[in-house]
């Protein structure tokens, strides 16, 4: 089985070299020969291109550099997934570093795998000075499926993170590309959660694998940075709720709970969501509304373009 690791980057030459080195070290530890790294340079203006080509010259596995001039994380991920040749497709962020046994665990999983599944692994904090954000440190394996009505009982937006996600080619070909209305460069987040929701509604199992680990060096150390991140996430969530409200209402179960939190917060006249980051339920609801509006507007624009194309 060939493994393709897809990484998207933009103006982060200082970070991606450490990510690439960790992939190379994990490949050596697993004696992994049938593998490749696909790096999508999303219109960088720093020395990312030179760093990538320098690394590729000495790497133990092939490195392909793809240049995607259209900015947007979902656009870049689609470019990488489209050109990747592996039977196993791995998506990680450029500020993540793989645990040394990453490929040992990954290959063993897929060698014994008989189910269609979209999976995510554990995400530990890479730098003790960073805030405890964008991590998933649960050590218990878990799974979700539409036949169990899992979304009715849990918020599937939290099942695993897009910075450590892996899927078989068969599942990717069934799901198709990511929705390019989502993600940094468009609606500021949500492309990975949308992929999780699409897998769930397609009857594909979701599974969290805590033994497949990356370390996230995200660099956010201030409340202002945390607030910006939460704002992006909640705008993305609002867009997702607009997309799935009628397709699969169970996936929107978090919104009513947040509305109740907003009412209680308003009555108490105090921030009851994230006071440490000065981000309240009121802020959350405003972001939901902005995200839903952005998605509906963008979707209408795309549909209009499609109709004009068909008419032409």
Task: Summarize pLDDT for 169-182 with one digit per residue, the tens.
Answer: 999 999 999 999 99
Q: Looking at the DSSP assignment, which residues form a beta bridge with residue 98? A: 214
pLDDT digits (tens, 9 = 90+) for 57-85: 999 999 999 999 999 999 999 999 999 99
User: CATH no. for residue 158?
Assistant: 3.90.550.10
pLDDT digits (tens, 9 = 90+) for 31-66: 998 999 999 999 999 999 999 999 999 999 999 999
Sign of the Cα pseudo-torsion (10, 15, 18, 23, in order): negative
Nearest C-alpha neighbor of 212 from the set 254, 263, 262, 166: 166
Mean pLDDT of the chain: 94
Residues 229 and 265 in one domain: yes
Residues 85 and 229 in one domain: no
Evaluate whether residue 309 is within a structural domain.
no
Which pLDDT value is given to residue 312?
A: 56
User: Which pLDDT band holds residue 302 (cuts at 50, 70, 90)?
Assistant: confident
Residues 209 and 116 in one domain: yes
> The domain containing residue 150 runs over which residues?
3-216
Number of domains in the chain: 2
Q: Is the pLDDT of residue 296 over 90?
A: yes
Residues 187 and 236 in one domain: no
Sign of the Cα pseudo-torsion (144, 145, 146, 147, in order): negative
Residues 189 and 293 in one domain: no
Residues 58 and 116 in one domain: yes
Evaluate whether residue 312 is within a structural domain.
no
pTM score of the predicted model: 0.95
Evaluate whether residue 310 is within a structural domain.
no
């Amino acid at each position: 089985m060939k493994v393709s690791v897809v990484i998207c980057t933009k103006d982060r030459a200082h970070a991606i070299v450490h990510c690439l080195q960790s992939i190379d070290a994990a490949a050596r530890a697993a004696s992994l020969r049938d593998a490749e790294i696909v790096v999508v340079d999303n219109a960088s203006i720093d020395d990312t291109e030179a760093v990538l080509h320098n690394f590729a010259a000495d790497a133990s596995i092939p490195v392909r550099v793809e240049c995607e001039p259209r900015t947007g994380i979902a656009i870049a991920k689609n470019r990488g997934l489209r050109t990747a040749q592996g039977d196993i497709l791995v998506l990680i962020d450029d500020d993540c570093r793989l645990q040394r046994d990453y490929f040992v665990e990954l290959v063993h999983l897929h060698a014994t795998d008989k189910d269609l599944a979209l999976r995510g692994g554990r995400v530990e904090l890479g730098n003790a000075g960073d805030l405890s954000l964008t991590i998933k440190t649960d050590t218990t394996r878990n799974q979700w499926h539409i036949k169990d009505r899992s979304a009715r009982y849990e918020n599937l937006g939290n099942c695993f993170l897009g910075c450590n996600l892996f899927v078989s080619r068969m599942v990717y070909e069934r799901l198709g590309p990511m929705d390019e209305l989502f993600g940094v460069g468009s609606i500021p987040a949500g492309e990975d959660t949308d992929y999780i929701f699409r897998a769930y509604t397609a009857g594909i199992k979701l599974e969290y694998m805590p033994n497949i680990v990356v370390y996230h060096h995200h660099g956010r150390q201030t409340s202002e940075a945390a607030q910006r991140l939460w704002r992006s996430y909640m705008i993305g969530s609002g867009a997702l709720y607009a997309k799935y409200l009628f397709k699969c209402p169970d996936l929107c179960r978090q919104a009513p709970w947040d509305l109740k939190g907003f009412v209680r917060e308003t009555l108490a006249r105090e921030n009851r969501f994230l006071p440490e980051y000065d981000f309240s339920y009121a802020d959350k609801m405003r972001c939901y509304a902005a995200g839903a509006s952005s998605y509906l507007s963008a979707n209408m624009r795309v549909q209009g373009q499609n109709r004009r194309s068909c008419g032409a």
